[in-house]
Chain A
Amino acid sequence: MTTHTERVSNLASKTLTTSLIVIGIILLAIGGYASLQVFLQGHEAVYAVNREVPWGLLIATYAYFVITSTGLAFIGGLGHAFGFEKYSKMSKRIVVMAFVILLAGFTQIGMEIGHPIRLMIYLILSPNLNAPIVWMGVFYGIELVILAVELYIIFKPNKKESDHNTAKIVGFFALLVGVLATSNLGYVFGSLNARPFYHGVYFSIFLVISGITAGAALLLAIHNIIYKFNVPENLYSSMKALGKLMGAGIGVMIFLYLWKILSSLYTQPGDSYLAAKALLTGPLSINFWVGELVLAVILPLAIIVFSKASNMKALGIAGIVFMIGLFFTRYDFIVAGQLPPMREGLAGSGVHTVNGLAQYAPSATEWMIFALGWGVFLVLYFLAERFLILDTKEH
């Protein structure tokens, strides 16, 4: 029998999820309108990506979503396959969130690529196995299937012992393929002969580490939102474990940042140097110092350290702040490497530069497609919260 307090709490929770679904629908409508513009006018007319900076906001948002998804799958895999019980207490939310945010990522790449259907056809008919994008498609495609299987298993009624064993195996492969997919995404950029800022092993590692950190941050944020910053006690140990994971992730990110930036500065006058300068003092400097460092590193880490990863509300805030900051991290990563021009912007060259760097700022339509991604996430995820039981009772 439910108490009065529980009934009030359930009602409030339903109001909250409904509100978030409505916000999601509004974002979907905005994104839908933008998609129509893209279909009617063409990418070139409505997107601000250009000859010098061909990849922009949508690739950044794609990376933001899909890498967070694989980070979630990693944490889910730790719970399912490696017996980290603290994480397995959240397994339903993890799988639903990973699946939905992966779909949100696919909307971004779908609207970025000029011929997404043709891509699927020619990936089968005429694949270039040397091209990292082929493997990106393969790995993320497999990841989507694995997550769909996991979804089926966790919501299957009357689970048998064999289902738990299957869940372990599937969870392990979600973790493995997720890491492969994300590190391969680093290779997509690392394989670009012309862009030395992306070369080397750095981004493959950074994306995996920041993805796992993002998975933890999103779980901390969403749990606080769902429970209105009043997380139930039975989840305290899981939340603390996620807080520690997130803190450790940020710690490794600081380490990686330090050496990447320093080593890039020493390539002067090369393109890595120019990209690093664009981050430190150039057109991306506000993004870098405020977004990447303050929001995605300093504030969340300070919150975790000072709260000793044991204050649930503080962890929720750290998660939200980190997820906002991480957007700048992804955006800067995509754009910075492309700002050094391939040819000097002299008269007649056709290259447009300001202070020796190419220029890019997202168009309104690109921002509206960005809203589409968030709309997909909010609507699908909070519909799941609203109509499915995502609390994991036992494992």
Chain B
Amino acid sequence: MAKKRYAIVLDASKCLNCKACTVACKLENDVPVGQETYRIWVTENRLHGNFPNLTQTFQPSQCQHCENTPCASVCPTNATYKTEEGVVLVDYDKCVLCKACMTACPYDARFVDEHLAAVEKCTMCYHRLPDRDPACVETCPTKVRVFGDINDPESKASKLLAKNSYYRLKPSVNTRPRLFYVD
């Protein structure tokens, strides 16, 4: 049987910008309060159109769990590593806080966690898998995010990718993210 390939498929058009995902992430992962300490975010894109016909879209995002992983390549101690399912994690005990991973990440998805004394980032709530979905997925009222094994054609994530066209962020940097945005 093929290995699992975990991914998150997002339909950003469903996003209400309620930020429940960011709160759930903070609580689930004990992320410190602070302007720079966040694992996931919801960007409020620029308004489209002219008054009164205005539209605003949102882009929820987080660590892209890249298949081609720039942060892991530059980590001197192998503190950043990939699980066999492709989830990019940090071994906090090995992190030396050189911050090379932060400068190498094209998505600004990493930050220094003073409590852990290490660089941290989204883990896809690896501690909950496979029994429960990541906290951001579980809590979303409009189901923007769908988590699943994209090697399993019967998973919700695979079906969404099969039915929709999708894009990934910053394809020019060739990181091959595991976060897919359906159009």
Contact = CB atoms under 8 A, between A and B. Distances in A.
Contact of A114 (B70, B94, B96): B96
B74 interface: yes
A3 interface: no
Interface stretch (B99-107, B124-132, B136-144): B99-107
Contacts of B85: none
Given A133-B74, A192-B70, A116 B96 contact: yes
A122 B78 CA distance: 9
Nearest to B113: A44
Nearest to B175: A193
Given A113-B98, A131-B73, A193-B106, A348 B41 contact: yes
B78 A127 contact: yes
Contacts of B79: 122
A193 B42 contact: no
A342 B105 contact: yes
Interface in B20-61: 35-36, 38, 41-46, 58
B117 A115 contact: yes
B74 A51 contact: no
Interface residues of B, number: 43
A207 to B, nearest CB: 17
B44 A346 contact: yes
A229 interface: no
A341 B43 contact: no
A55 B17 CA distance: 32
A346 B77 contact: no
Main secondary structure of the interface of A (DSSP, over half): loop
Contacts of A192: 70, 74, 100, 103-104
B77 A122 contact: yes
Given A115-B96, A119-B96, A133 B76 contact: yes
Nearest to B99: A54
Contacts of A119: 76-77, 96, 98
B43 A348 contact: yes
Given A113-B96, A123-B77, A194-B103, A349 B43 contact: yes
B182 interface: no
A349 B61 CA distance: 9
A195 interface: yes
A377 B46 CA distance: 51
B90 interface: no
A131 B74 contact: yes
Given A113-B98, A342-B106, A126 B78 contact: yes
B107 A126 contact: no
